[in-house]
Each structure stands twice: as structure tokens, then as C-alpha cells.
Amino acid sequence: MTFDATQPFGISAALTTPFTSAGNIDHALLVAHVKNVLAKGCNSVTLGGTTGEGPSLSQEEKVAAHNAITAAGVPAQKIVFAILESALPNAVAHARQAADLGSTHILLAPPFYFKGVADNGQLVWFRKMLTEIAPSGLKVILYHIPQVTAAPVTPDMVAELKKDFPAMICGVKDSAGQWENTEELLKRFPDLDILIGDERLLARGVALGGAGAISGVANFRPDLLTDIMAQKPDDPRVTDLVNALLEYPVTPAVKALVGHLDQEQSWREARAPLAGLTPEQYQALTKRYNDLFASPER
């Protein structure tokens, strides 16, 4: 995929990260997983985001994972590189490295360590960041996930950055799960790729011009999301599935279902401070999934 501006962004799997028993990234399993989700309809994968435990990975680990994926024949342009850094020099260096690796798009979160920072302070950080990486030619997807970062990327901030960096700002990933915010983004920025992080809102978003999703569910059921992009009839199981995931720590829950469907239990491992689901949680979640999808449709 070359992210043709004339085509919808589509579905990007917010890649989960598999670990070996020694706690290292399992490159073989990761590569197989990437090939699987792409073969099942994902347009791209996003490396090192929230679902991928990105803040728990070193930049060296992310680069090694990127190299393993491309060495297996996956074009670098299919890999969106997530930048989740508060230190501006680190964010700049990591973005430049992503460009050197061949990625054309980054998912850029705001600096998040200091809480209660005014929008103006965030804008100063973003403007310095974007100015520094402008020569790379990278396209930037702004990342709004305030329930994790406590640092919202508001529609007004998007407008300011889009005005100042029109050739760089290409989209927003809205993972807040608040329809009012998603709707405002869709209406104010029809020329940006508005990407839905909460799969329960994807159908409504697509109906208003949403370009796709960077999705955790795409790790194990991308077909549910590609059907929405194709504007097939709504499947109420999507909402039920996301609600079931939200009963648990989300990233370990997504990994549990990847392992359940792939019959590969090493997926259940998470890196501290996250922990895998308990056996009781795993049994309850997988039973819920099996019951939900016991028949083709409900």
C-alpha cells in the first residue's frame, strides 16, 4: 500500500506484540501475524501503538521488529510507525528513523507525562516536532486517546496544526470513544483521514465519511471491520465484542483472543507493567467470544 491520497485509508491492525518466554519480541510470530492480517484484508499495520505495548518497547526493539517485517517481504509503506514520546528530541529521532526505514506515515501522540498542560504548550511541542521532521516527507496521523495520555488532541488543536502544516497532517486517530468528538472531527475536517479507534463507532463514522480505523479488533477479526468499510449491514456483534473486551485490561484481552483463534498460547504474555489475563479471565473471555460467534450472524 502506498497510501494513495485518492483512496480511503481503510483498516490498519493496531499490532499486538508477541513475546518469547524470555521476554523478547517473538519476530517469527510477529511476522506471521502481520502477513495474516494483511492477507485477511487489512490495508496496513501500525507498529508500537497502545495495543502493541509501544511505551514498554525500546526504540531498538521497534526498529528490529520493523526490519523483521520488511525482511519477510512486507513493504515498509504498509507499516505505520507509532511515536509515543514526551521528550521532543526522542520523538524527532524516532520519527526520522521511521522515515529512514521506509515508513511513510507515523501515528503521533502528544507529550503526556505532565498533566493539565494548556493546549498552547502542546501546540508548541507539536510545531517544533513537525518543523524538525518536515524534510523527511512523513505524513502525520495525530493520536487522540485522552483516557490513556490525559492529553487530548482537541479539534481546535487539529485545526491549528493543519493550518500550519497542511502537507504533513493527513489524519487523526480518535480513540476517545466519544461520538460527539468523532462527529466534530468528521464535519470540520472532511479532507483529513478521520480514523476510528473505538470499533463500536466505526459504522457511524464511515457513514459520515470516516476513512477507516487503526484497530485492535483487526488483530483477530479484520473481516468484521472490512465489512463495515464495505458498508455491509451492521453486525451487532461488533459492539458486543468490544464491550466484552472492555471488561478486562484491553491490550491483554486482545492478545488473549489472538492466541485463542490462532491456537498459540504465547500470545497471552504481556510485558510489565501489563500482565496477561488470569486463567479465569481467559476462560470467561474466550467463552464469551465463542458464544457470540457460534453462528455466522445473530
Catalytic residues: 143, 173
- Which residues have CB under 8 Å from 171's CB, separation 6+? 9, 139, 141, 142, 192, 193, 194, 195, 211
Tell me: is residue 46 an annotated ligand-binding position.
Answer: no
Pairing state between β 79-83 and 44-47: parallel
Question: What Å distances lie between residue 103 and 169, 196, 240, CA to CA?
Answer: 15, 21, 34
Tell me: is residue 51 an annotated ligand-binding position.
Answer: yes
Residue carrying the nine cell digits 509515543 = 84
End-to-end CA, the chain = 34
**Cα 148 from chain centroid (whole Å):** 13
Residues annotated within a binding site for pyruvate: 51, 214
Residues annotated within a binding site: 51, 214
